[in-house]
Amino acid sequence: MEYRLFLIIPPGLEDLALKEVESKCPVSGIDVLKGGLELNADLDWIVKAHTLLKVPTRMLMRVTEFKVRDFPKLHQKFVNFKWNQFLSHPEPVFEISCSKSRLMHTGRIEETIRGALADALVRQPLNRDWEKKNYPPQTFYVRLVDDNLTLSLDLTGEPLYKRGLQIIKGEAPIRENLASAFLMELFQGLEQEVTLVDPMCGSGTFLTEAINFRRPLHLRPFAFETAPFFKGKMVRLPLVTMPFPLKEVQGFDLNEVLIKKVSENSELKLTVQDSVKTPIRIDGEFIMICNPPYGERIKIEGKRGSFLREAWQKFMTVDKPLRFGWVLPSDMDDLFKAPSNYKLLTKRHLKNGGMAVTYWIWERV
């Protein structure tokens, strides 16, 4: 049986998410929308996608869709809905949004749905597994646009970027799915094996994501595992295709305490060093990626523009990586021009923690 699915993607990264799906778990008929990918797939694909894909935030299953303009019809539709095909807990969470519809009061919409659900469960009682096995409540997304209601079941639970890989976190880490997407673009078309360097690595999110990009995720549960339609069990999957041509990873940071903690709890190779003042010594070719501090959550010396300009000039003229990708506040775009020995490969605009940022990639020529 195939289900209609929607993969939530950070806006601006839809094209990279599509490439990852096509490489790791291909499926036909993918629609690329703003903020996501829509497709049809079976349960095996759902399992593989959750364990293999690194860019999506979460996955939703479209369970019903209908037009509704009044509360009596809303109640009737959900009384007759076959809840026991999807529901594993009698008190789900509802996330409701409305736009350009006659039904706009989210509180009353939820009250109506819960009343209909209670009436429906009298006729179609749930299996008691939820009580015996202590299942958590599921989350359903109710979206009303132009009087069309779509009910979607969250298959993921905790967002997919919460992988359980990093025990130690810095003060302002980049989200794991953004890091994976940026790494995909940085390595794109690169055939020779290189070392990946992060000169301001913090807790090492970029380095961790690079090492684990083709490793299936088996460290955490997913919400679909408790649903009635999931009758199997999670199995360990082999490594997937789409590897990076990666020799090793190397991280540097000023925070000695953080570097020590991360080194003791991970497989990363990290060094305490001020990379703005000290040259980076690597054997062979290396590429660099950096999400520098902006002076907000992590303090920097002097003005933000002067600090970032100094760092950029040092990396490009002293360290000279084969490729250099870094994430900067978009209001600073005008400060950076590629030197004569570099060409700009890509320039991508998106949001990082609510802040408008630009992801740049330069390549040495």
Q: Dump strand ranges (E) for the chain.
A: 2-8, 31-33, 36-42, 58-67, 93-99, 139-145, 148-154, 194-198, 246-253, 270-272, 286-290, 323-329, 342-352, 355-364
Of 184, 311, 190, 182, nearest to 253 by C-alpha is: 311
pLDDT surpassing 80 at residue 234: no
Report pLDDT for 295: 59
Convert the pLDDT of each residue in 335-364 to its tens digit. Answer: 777 677 999 999 999 998 788 999 999 999
Report pLDDT for 296: 60
Of 158, 157, 139, nearest to 86 by C-alpha is: 139
Of 290, 251, 256, nearest to 270 by C-alpha is: 251
Of 127, 145, 205, 139, nearest to 172 by C-alpha is: 205
CATH classification number, 2-154, choose in 3.30.365.10, 2.70.210.12, 1.10.10.10, 3.30.2130.30: 3.30.2130.30
| Whether 195 contacts 250, CB under 8 Å | yes
Report pLDDT for 1: 87
Report pLDDT for 297: 56
Q: What mean pLDDT is predicted for residues 148-161?
A: 97
Cα angle 319, 189, 173; round to 5: 55
Contacts of 185 by beta carbon, 8 Å cutoff, 6+ apart: 16, 325, 346, 348, 359, 361
Q: What mean pLDDT is predicted for residues 269-292?
A: 94
- Phi, psi of 263, deg, nearest 5: -60, -35
Contacts of 168 by beta carbon, 8 Å cutoff, 6+ apart: 203, 258, 261, 262, 265, 266
What size, in residues, is the chain? 365
Report pLDDT for 164: 85
Label residue 299 by pLDDT band (50, 70, 90). Answer: low
CA distance 118 to 149: 20
Q: What mean pLDDT is predicted for residues 226-248?
A: 80
- Which range is most confident: 29-33, 124-128, 300-304? 29-33
Higher pLDDT, 331 or 278: 278
Topology adopted by domain 176-214+221-364: Rossmann fold (3.40.50)
The domain limits of the chain are 2-154, 176-214+221-364
Convert the pLDDT of each residue in 181-228 to its tens digit. Answer: 999 999 999 989 999 999 999 999 999 999 999 888 888 899 999 999
Q: Tokens 């995720």 belong to which residue?
A: 217
CA distance 337 to 351: 22
Label residue 20 by pLDDT band (50, 70, 90). Answer: very high
Structure tokens at 41: 């797939």
Contacts of 302 by beta carbon, 8 Å cutoff, 6+ apart: none
